[in-house]
A and B are shown apart, each in its own frame.
Chain A
C-alpha cells in the first residue's frame, strides 16, 4: 500500500556543530556501505564508503562508523556548514556489485546559520 504521509527524517543543527546521521541496514551479508549526499535538484554525490572489515573510516570533515553487531551505520560531519544542507542516503551492498546497492530512505539535514 501507499506510505501516506511519509516524511523524510529531518535533522536540524546549528552551523559549527557536529552532525550525526544514523542508518540501520537490513542484510547481514552486506559487506560494503556507502554514503551519498543529494542537494535539491541534483543527483546524489559520493561522500564516503566503508567495507565490512573496518569499523571506522575518516574523510575530510566526515567519519563513517560501522557497527556490524547491531547493523548500524553512522555518518559524522564535523563543524557543519550551510553547504552541508542536503538529503543524506546510506546504501548497502556487496563490493564489486554496485548495481545492487540497496538505498535507505534518506535523512534531511538542515543547517541553521
Chain B
C-alpha cells in the first residue's frame, strides 16, 4: 500500500517564479491537508481540502498561495511569485472521512527560493 506521495522532494525556484507542489493521498483517502514547516519549528496548518472542495483555508496566506484537489489527479499547492520567505518544507497529509483523527503524512517538499 502506497502512502502519501509528494513530489518533487526538493524544488529550487528564483524569486518571482511559480512553485507547484503535488500530493497524492493514500488510496481511498478523500481528505488532504497541507502544512508548512520552518526549520526547528512545528507544523503550521495551511489548508484542508476534500475532492473538488476547499473546506478550510484559514492558514493560507491571502495572496500568492492557492490549493486544489481535483476529482482526478493529485492535490496541488501553488505558490505564485515566490519570495525568500516562502522557503520551507511543505508537508501533505491525508485521512479517511471524518472521525478518524490520525493523519498520514508524506515526506514533504523542500522549497528553496534563491
Chain A residues with CB under 8 Å of chain B are 6-8, 32, 34, 36, 41-46, 49, 89, 91, 93, 95-96, 98-101, 103-106
Give the A-B contact count at a CB cut-off of 8 A: 59
Residue of B41, B43, B93, B104 with highest tally of chain A CB at under 10 A: B43
Q: Which residue of A lies closest to B106 (CB)?
A: A43
Residue of A7, A103, A105 with highest tally of chain B CB at under 10 A: A103
Contacts of A95 in B (CB 8 A): 101
Q: What 9 pairs across the A-B complex have the smallest Cβ distances?
A: A43-B105, A103-B42, A99-B48, A98-B101, A103-B43, A8-B40, A46-B102, A44-B105, A43-B107
B28 at the interface (CB under 8 A from A): no
Q: Are B101 and A43 in contact (CB under 8 A)?
A: no
Q: Are A100 and B101 in contact (CB under 8 A)?
A: no
Chain B residues with CB under 8 Å of chain A are 4, 6, 33, 40-45, 48, 55-56, 91, 93, 95, 98-99, 101-108
Contacts of A99 in B (CB 8 A): 33, 45, 48, 55-56
Contact residue among B43, B101, B104 (Cβ-Cβ distance under 8 Å from A89): B43
Further contacts, 16 of them, CB under 8 A, given A46-B104, A100-B45, A103-B43: A7-B40, A42-B108, A43-B91, A43-B93, A43-B105, A44-B43, A44-B91, A98-B33, A99-B45, A99-B48, A100-B56, A101-B45, A103-B44, A104-B42, A105-B42, A106-B40
Q: Offer 17 A-B interface pairs, CB within 8 angstroms, sorted by A.
A: A6-B40, A34-B102, A42-B107, A43-B93, A43-B106, A44-B103, A46-B102, A91-B42, A99-B33, A99-B45, A100-B56, A101-B45, A103-B44, A104-B42, A105-B40, A105-B42, A106-B41
